[in-house]
Amino acid sequence: MSWDKKTVAKRMKRSSQLNQELFWDYYNQLSEQGKDLNTVPSALSRVIEDTGHKDINLLEIEDIKTALMNLAPTTINARVNFLKTFLKFAAAKVTLQFDINDLDDLKVNQREVEASKEDKWEALSVDDVIALRLKLRELKKYRPLYYFEMFYAFGLEMDELINLHSGNYDEKEKKFRFQGNEYTLPAQLHDIPHDKLIPKKKFGNTTPTYNLSHIEKFFGRKVSRGDIIATRSQTFFKCPKCGDMYEATPENWVVFHYEIDNSKWIVCRKKCLEEENK
C-alpha cells in the first residue's frame, strides 16, 4: 500500500493518544532523515489498525500474530520488518511486553514464500513471447525489453538484476561482471544502443517491476518476474551433458553422434559441441 498521508491520518485518529504520538514522532524522524515515506508509514498504521489499536506498550506477540494471520506469505515478512523498525524506535520511549527479535519467529520461510508466488505465476506461450518482443521494439520501450530479456535469459533474482547496470557492463565484450559472475547481454539486444537499454546505475527492487508494468497497457495482462521465470521453465531445456540451460531454438542445439556406441544425443551447441570437436 502506498503512502497517503490523509488516509493514514484518518486511520490513526481511531487509535489512542499514545499510539498517535509514537507513530507521528516516528514519521517525523523518517522525514528529517530523508527516508522514503512511500510505504513504511502506511504499512505500520495498517498493523496498528489490525491489532485493534491496542496501545503499543500493551501489545503481545499473539496480538501481532493474529493481525498477520490472513496475509499472504509474501506480505507477512515485509510487514514484520516494518513493525520491527517502528518498535525499535518506540522501545526508547515506552516499555514493550516482548523482545522485538521474537517477531522473526512470525516470518514465513523463503521456500513457502516462493511456493505462494509460483501458485500465481502464469507462463507466456511462445506466441506471447514473440508478440511481446515485437511490440516493445515497435513502441521503443527498450527498458522493459531489457528487464524482460534478462529475467528470461538468466532466471535472475531481483537483487541480482538491479546490479547489472552500466557500471558493471563491458560494452566491447557485451558482458556484465558482478561479484565474480558474468552475464552476456542476450544477442537480440545487441542492435539497441546500450545507453537506451541498460540502466546507468543500481536502482531499487521496484524499478524492474515498474518497467514491466508498461507491458500491461498493450498486452492485456500484467507480466511479473515470476511469470517470466515460469515462461523460462517451459521454453528452456537443460543440456543432458553439461547441465546448462538454453532456449529451445535450433541455433542452441545439435544432434551429436557418439561413434563409441553409435548413439545420438541432443546436446548444446555452445559448450558441448565445441568441447567434443577440440
**Closest by Cα among 238, 234, 248, 249 to 272:** 238
pLDDT band of 146, cuts 50, 70, 90 = very high
Q: What is the C-alpha to C-alpha distance for residues 45 and 275, in angstroms, rounded to an integer?
A: 60
Strand-pairing partners, residue 265, are 256
**Residues 227/235, Cβ–Cβ less than 8 Å:** no
**183 phi-psi bin (left φ>0, alpha ψ -120 to 50, beta other):** beta
The answer to whether 161 and 147 are in contact (CB under 8 A) is: yes
Q: What is the pLDDT of residues 81-123, one digit of tens each?
A: 888 888 999 999 999 999 999 989 888 776 655 655 555 778 8
Cell of 9: 491520518
Q: Residue 2: what pLDDT?
A: 44
* 169-170 sheet: strands from edge to edge: 169-170, 175-178, 181-184
3 state SS of 245: strand
What distance lies between CA 200 and its chain's CA centroid? 19
Q: Over the stretch 205-215, which tens digit does the pLDDT of each residue have? A: 677 888 888 78
Pairing of strands 236-238, 181-184: unpaired
Mean pLDDT calculated for residue range 163-172:
90
Is 121 or 256 the better-scoring residue by pLDDT?
256
The gap from C-alpha 205 to its chain's centroid, in whole angstroms, comes to 6
The DSSP result for 146-209, as a single string, is HHHHHHHHH---HHHHTT-SGGGEETTTTEEEETTEEEEPPGGGTTS-HHHHS-SS---THHHH
How much is the average pLDDT of 140-149?
Answer: 92
Those residues with Cβ within 8 angstroms of residue 161's Cβ, 6 or more apart along the chain or in another chain: 147, 150, 151, 208
